[in-house]
A and B are shown apart, each in its own frame.
Chain A
Amino acid sequence: MAPVAPTSQQWVEKYRPRQVKDVVHQEEVVLTLTNALETGNLPHLLFYGPPGTGKTSTALAISHQLFGPELYKTRVLELNASDDRGINVVRTKIKDFAAVAVGPGVSGYPCPPFKIIILDEADSMTEDAQNALRRTMETYSKVTRFCFICNYVSRIIEPLTSRCAKFRFKPLLDNMLSSRIQFICREEGLSLDSEALTTLNHVSEGDMRRAITYLQGAARLYGSSLSSDNIISISGVVSDNVVHSFLQACRTGLFDQAQKAVADIIDEGYPVSQILSQVCYASFSSSSQVDY
């Protein structure tokens, strides 16, 4: 088996925060978890928030820091939407794992006497499966902690949320994104002018993963010095000219013109949802005195 060349690692994985304190902009979580690291006491956790804000990274980091690489395999069970998580799995796999007593810890890590079950993308679990978890969580709370991760807290049933300490992950602010991006640029030897940086912030909308993926994609395609146009073309954002001419066609009030504009956009292959949101944005922000 050939070792993976270091270049073929995705940057998103490469620059994933390894320690809880590296997670930016989520002060409450970081504070609680660093406390937990010191005392070895952890509640059930529920992380929710938009994609790319560090939920999975935090959960992985805390489990790694608590148990270290050796115990990680026996103490942590990670299940995500790519695993089957029907009611049967909850009744068998999760319950079995939760019921097992813990062994002795290893030196150098806190190794508190419980196991962690990480349920990633928990909002895609069925309601039945979630209900089946309720009693399991309480019965085995001595030896097991659960960590739920989801985008929408409303999709998790109330009995589960009330058993957990809830943490909302906020979208990252521009300056935090920028500083991380700049760090990666330095590490990878990229040059990014300030305009491109602003564009990257704008198109990634507080989603760190998206920002890094775009950056890596752009770096692969266009080489080490990147401009704002490169970022735009990689991100699939529709250029303002297209949106503008579409709006112009709509404003004429002639059906045929609008139909032609639509056909053009479809043929160019732009993602329709992207077009809609940008047209919406553009029509609200346009200064002309037209009622919409």
Chain B
Amino acid sequence: MLWVDKYRPHALDKVMVHVEEAQQLKQLVAQGDCPHLLFYGPSGAGKKTLIIALLREMYGAGAEKIKVENKPWKIEAGTRKLEVELTTISSNYHVELNPSDAGFQDRYVVQEIIKEMAKSRPLDVAGNKSFKVLVLNEVDRLSKEAQHSLRRTMEKYSSACRLILCCNSASKVIEAVRSRCLNIRISAPSKEEIVKVLQHVAKKEGLQLPLGFAARIALSSNRNLRRAILSLEACKVHQYPFTEDQSVQSADWEQYIVEIASDIVNEQSPKRLFLVRGKLYELLVNCIPPEIVLKRLLLELMKKLDSELKHEVCHWAAYYEHRMQRGQKAIFHLEAFVAKFMSIYKRFLIATFG
């Protein structure tokens, strides 16, 4: 078992970061009831952990007995029949799904499947909990139509069903959905908090963790707790006992992007552009999302730039990111950014050094 899962807190009382939020959530369900919730925050901040702990708080340990199902749904949309395959994670009390997996058909998932689930009320002998919970992940990736479809469903079946929505960026969720939920912002844990958690994990594992090393792991994780714990485990495999000046393992795709960045800065020519294209393809076929590639590449390039160029480069990165969102093939836009950067940089070099 990975440490990330092993040391995931299971109860709201046991969380080490977001203690305040956890207490509030506890109070929220103490009255046996909760509104629709929308958790938003950067990845690795602990949204999912809080949701799982919250479900446990509501339903007891039974909520942790989960089964993963992958079943095809047949949807009749007008004259056509669609088949959507969807993975659901469910317990007796809740169903978790990722509607954006259905791609452009997500509207039908929301209209048919979620509505179907929301309509049927769970049978409960004791009669103490009379609603079930639907956890929807990545709602910010849902299309606008699908989000509109959610609106009335949330109101109409609110007596039988509560939705817990989870997303990275609240701005991509339409206002109408946001105004129907209790919004809970989960901020990324601070470096001190990450160090604290790392030391807790190390203690449980019986490891000696030097403070300086923990701080460096926290720094390289960019306030992402999941990544911090993962890289602690990776470092343990790499070299143990830990030393104060041990290097932190960064992911290989990140090193690859660092390499690309230095390629670009070293030479600006069509030939080099061709070489970089190959490397970008390499990243994309390994399923690194193009947005992350572009962001990372920009940050790496920024480190090597004079400050007068930064504004311009940043502007163009945003420009090509925007086009990437609207367009289809990510590689064109990544390459266009690289080409644009090369031209800006070359012009700058010629102007400065002649």
**Interface residue ranges, A against B (CB under 8 Å):** 1-5, 7-10, 12-13, 51-52, 80-84, 86-89, 120-121, 124, 207, 209-210, 213, 216-217, 220-223, 234-236, 254-256, 259, 266-274
Contacts and interface: CB of A to CB of B under 8 A. Distances in A.
Contact of A7 (B31, B158, B188, B222): B31
A258 to B, nearest CB: 9
B182 A9 contact: no
A124 B186 CA distance: 32
B321 to A, nearest CB: 13
A162 B129 CA distance: 49
Contacts, number: 139
Contact of B130 (A8, A81, A254): A8
Contact of A82 (B78, B110, B121, B187): B110
Contacts of B40: 269, 271
Contact of A121 (B115, B152, B175): B152
Nearest to A217: B182
Nearest to B157: A82
A220 B111 contact: no
Interface string B254-272: 0000000000000000000
Contacts of B307: 254-256
B152 A120 contact: yes
A196 to B, nearest CB: 17
Contacts of A51: 175-176, 179
A208 to B, nearest CB: 10
B328 to A, nearest CB: 23
B159 A81 contact: no
A207 B180 CA distance: 11
A264 B166 CA distance: 21
A9 B34 CA distance: 9
Contact of A83 (B111, B155, B169): B111
Contacts of A52: 179
Interface stretch (B86-94, B142-150, B286-294, B337-345): B142-150
Given A5-B33, A82-B152, A213-B180, A271 B171 contact: yes
A278 to B, nearest CB: 12
Interface string B162-198: 0000000111000110111111011110000000000
Nearest to B305: A255
A259 B302 CA distance: 10
